[in-house]
Amino acid sequence: MSETVEQYTKVISKCREIFEKKTQDYGTAWRILRTSSLTDQIFIKAQRIRTIQETGENKVGEDIEDEFIGIINYCIMAVIQIEEGENLPLEISPEKAGQLYNKYSEVALTLMKNKNHDYGEAWRDMRVSSLTDLILMKLLRVKQIEDNKGKTIISEGIDANYYDMLNYAVFALIHLTFKNEGNA
């Protein structure tokens, strides 16, 4: 599993770098978004990935790797909104945003390690298209939970679904990034 942790860390590092640069450019304008709006942003990205996977056509030109990075970063933003939203001002410093990014990406890494142990790295034998479908399924679940005003009877909450989507997107990026090394 050390290889997975190393690859995971590299992917998150790249995502964090993009998050930090966009925070420098735009500030934390994303803080105005409700979690349902973040869910829809993730949905748009996942749906675009699926369309490109199904049609083989990419008319916009941005590759699906960029969309998976967007999914990861929007998931972290959503978790920040859920966990910290009411305690933060609308605009937070780039340093504070980076600290929160690190905090919640570490939570996601710990979750991945625990689940990866129990599932025996099954994701390595999965297709990127299946990971995309799992993200879309989780999005539909989140939308249903949001429509139920956050209430569930037996299921995990919204935050758990964001963490799963984040980790599925990291796994997809590991497949896409490290495939030439014969590791995924």
Asked if 53 contacts 86 with a C-beta cutoff of 8 angstroms, the reply is: no
Residues 6+ apart with CB under 8 A from 67: 45, 46, 48, 49
**Rounded to whole angstroms, how far apart are CA atoms 78 and 58?**
27
* pLDDT at residue number 181: 55
Lowest mean pLDDT among 46-60, 77-91, 104-118, 150-164: 150-164
User: Which of the four pLDDT bands, split at 50, 70 and 90, describes residue 62?
Assistant: confident
Task: Please give the Cα distance from 100 to 84 (Å, whole number).
Answer: 9
Residue at 125: amino acid letter: D
Of 8-17, 52-61, 64-73, give the lowest mean pLDDT range.
52-61
pLDDT for 128-165, tens place per residue?
Answer: 999 999 999 999 999 999 988 888 887 888 999 999 99
CA atoms within 13 A on the CB side of 170: 30
Mean pLDDT score, 65-87: 95
Q: Is the predicted pLDDT of residue 184 greater than 70, yes or no?
A: no
Q: Can you tell me the mean pLDDT for 88-106? A: 96
Is pLDDT at 46 greater than 70 in this prediction?
Answer: yes
pLDDT computed for residue 61 by the predictor: 82
Is the pLDDT at 1 greater than 80, yes or no?
Answer: no
